[in-house]
Amino acid sequence: MYGLIGKMKAKPNQRDALIAILLDGIHAMPGCLSYIVASDPADADAIWITEVWDSELSHKASLALPQVKDAIARARPVIAGFDSHVVTAPVGGHGLGL
């Protein structure tokens, strides 16, 4: 399995808009086992995205999906920047169907 955990910063007062964009169109991403978007309670402009994929190849292929390309294009104007980004190797857990 292939995992990613990343912290993204929205422009001031745009976090809810960014979250809505990231949650729209996340269905039908082949190989995606889990995609979680969470607000950061300590930072009003920050969000955390936690992803689990069956493989790194599936994640890379998802970037070519029309709905993902559209979400990226719509999100760009409200993204202030990217903070942390970590690649993980998930081994199991609740919700992964393992």
In this prediction, residue 40 carries a pLDDT of 97
Q: Which tens digit of pLDDT belongs to each residue from 5-58? A: 999 999 999 999 999 999 987 788 999 999 999 999 999 999 999 999 999 999
Which of the four pLDDT bands, split at 50, 70 and 90, describes residue 98?
low
* Span 48-71, average pLDDT: 94
Instruction: Say which residues have a Cβ less than 8 Å from residue 28's Cβ, sequence separation at least 6.
Output: 65, 67
Q: Which domains does the chain have, with CATH numbers?
A: 2-82 (3.30.70.100)
The pair of structure tokens assigned to 84 is 């942390």
